Amino acid sequence: MANIVHPLLTLLASLTRQELAQQIRYLKAEDEILRSKLPGRVTLDNRERNTLVKHGKKLGGKIKDVMTIVSYSTF
């Protein structure tokens, strides 16, 4: 897994803020399309929830702008 993550982190570090914003918009659109193909609610186990919390804490209240599979109250 680390072999996959390292090139991704290298790529992200080299992008400008505008490029990052464009990539985030694309990923959010892609996420919405994938979610529309699911038959029901997405349920998370504790490990998945902890992963989201770990990364989401760094965003603070701005997390509301990027959340797609959990509600803010669940987070």
* 39, two tokens: 């038959």
Using the CB atoms, write b or e for 39-63: b if 16+ within 10 Å: eeeeeeeeeeeeebeeebeeeeeeb
Model confidence over 12-43: pLDDT tens digits?
A: 777 777 788 888 888 888 888 888 888 888 88
pTM of the predicted structure, to 2 decimals: 0.57
pLDDT at 61 over 80: yes
Residue extents of the structural domains in the chain? 1-39, 41-75
The pLDDT confidence band at residue 47, using thresholds 50, 70 and 90, is very high
Run of H or E residues at 49: helix 46-56
pLDDT score recorded for residue 1: 54
Computed over every residue of the chain, the mean pLDDT equals: 82
- Between 4 and 56, residue with greater pLDDT: 56
